[in-house]
């Protein structure tokens, strides 16, 4: 089968139903894939863009936890495909189609949608997580999967062996056959010929549809299973099926400034989320969002350009080493090494440093924010100082062990008035 035909026979399923509880209050009102990132995007935009750029145009987004903002985002910004060409991006919410349970795991989420999958008559199924940030040409992985004759291919990334206990680790032979799988091992296997790195699963899989269907039905009847691809199905296939490792370095979209560093981030913790955003404020970020050959798409709204007001002593509207999105007004204040998402207002005499300010926030006069993640629609009262006193920050807001302070409007509403 040639690659163009294979693309039309591939169904991409993006698993986007998870809460992402390690992001704390950022997922109180939205699912993890709907969390804003990189100034104007949502996390879900990365796997969706990868699919479109890879030529895969039969896509279903499986949703469950607090999915309204995610559904709205996909419906408004990702409805441009041609149904008459059998192209689509559909939302598949949890519907209890196979019983009274909601999605119990990643494998169960796919199992519960087997009826829709059967109707599409695909030959290959690409399984993606909806909460990782990266750029990958899935068609390269698909071509390798077909050529190898595998039942399932698992995308893997090299990680330092000292960090391997955080991942599901693959043990492969010299032909990239997966011969063992260990979930967060204390003594992880290393790659052949390179004892410094291990091969970690990225949660990206390509299955032959018939093979996947048979095994999902079997797994659904196993009361001892947690119905998860990484914990249950992939280990089960090892030694019994043709299971291949695909090296992410072979299909990632490389940044010319970092040719030996494939970019992939699980932004599942507050620190990882903050660091991923901070990387974009560097002179040359690891994640290249300016690559016109591999655009990251998102929902577009009509907004004015960013605006900077005042040029008086001690009252200069300026941003240094920062990303400032459309609709923002920096009025007589300083923004340094920070990201301002859309429609943020920073008022006079304030200083925002190393912070991530989500959409529609308003920072009052004479404020100082350092290493802060400010949730959407939060209004910071004048003279508020955050990020300088760890004890005070922990009492008022959420402060993690790395000193990142997360602030929401609900937290602000509980504060006593600040004297001006």
Q: Which residues are annotated as a binding site for alpha-D-glucose 1-phosphate?
A: 103, 168, 183-184, 201
Burial string for 301-335 (b: 16+ CB within 10 Å, else e) reads eeeeebebeeeeeeeebebeebbbbbbbbbbbbbb
What separation in angstroms does the CA of 84 have from each of 6, 37, 76, 80, 203? 19, 33, 20, 12, 32
CA dist 356 to 22, 309, 341, Å? 17, 21, 8
Length of the chain: 420
Positions at the binding site? 103, 168, 183-184, 201
């Amino acid at each position: 089968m040639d690659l163009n035909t294979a693309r039309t026979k591939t169904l991409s399923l993006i698993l986007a139903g998870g809460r992402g509880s390690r992001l704390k209050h950022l997922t109180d009102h939205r699912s993890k894939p709907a969390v804003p990132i990189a100034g104007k995007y949502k996390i879900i935009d990365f796997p969706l863009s990868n699919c479109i750029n890879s030529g895969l145009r039969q896509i279903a987004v499986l949703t469950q936890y607090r999915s309204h903002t995610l559904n709205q985002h996909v419906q408004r910004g990702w409805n441009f495909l041609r149904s008459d060409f059998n192209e689509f991006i559909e939302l598949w919410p949890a519907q209890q189609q196979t019983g009274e349970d909601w999605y119990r795991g990643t494998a169960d989420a796919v199992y519960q949608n087997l009826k829709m999958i059967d109707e599409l008559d695909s030959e290959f199924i690409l399984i993606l997580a909806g909460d990782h940030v990266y750029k990958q040409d899935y068609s390269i992985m698909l071509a390798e999967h077909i050529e190898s004759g595998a039942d399932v291919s698992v995308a893997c990334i090299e990680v330092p062996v000292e960090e391997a206990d955080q991942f599901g680790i693959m043990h492969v032979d010299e032909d990239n056959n997966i011969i063992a799988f260990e979930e967060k091992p204390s003594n992880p296997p290393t790659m052949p010929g390179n004892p410094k790195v291990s091969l970690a699963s990225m949660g990206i899989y390509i299955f032959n549809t018939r093979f996947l269907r048979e095994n999902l039905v079997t797994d659904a009847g196993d009361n001892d299973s947690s119905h998860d691809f990484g914990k249950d199905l992939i280990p089960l296939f090892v030694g019994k099926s043709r299971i291949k490792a695909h090296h992410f370095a072979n299909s990632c979209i490389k940044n010319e400034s970092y040719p030996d560093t494939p970019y992939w981030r699980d932004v599942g913790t507050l620190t990882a989320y903050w660091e991923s955003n901070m990387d974009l404020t560097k002179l040359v970020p690891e994640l290249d969002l300016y690559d016109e050959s591999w655009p990251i798409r998102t929902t577009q709204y009509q907004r004015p350009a960013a605006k900077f007001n005042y040029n008086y002593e001690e009252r200069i509207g300026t941003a240094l080493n920062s990303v400032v999105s459309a609709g923002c007004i920096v009025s007589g204040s300083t923004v340094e090494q920070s990201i301002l998402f859309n429609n943020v207002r920073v008022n006079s005499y304030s200083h925002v440093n190393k912070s991530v300010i989500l959409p529609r926030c308003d920072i009052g006069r004479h404020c100082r924010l350092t290493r802060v993640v400010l949730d959407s629609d939060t209004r910071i009262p004048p003279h508020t100082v955050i990020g300088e006193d760890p004890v005070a920050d922990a009492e008022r807001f959420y402060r993690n062990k790395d000193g990142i302070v997360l602030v929401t409007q609900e937290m602000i509403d509980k504060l006593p008035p600040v004297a001006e």
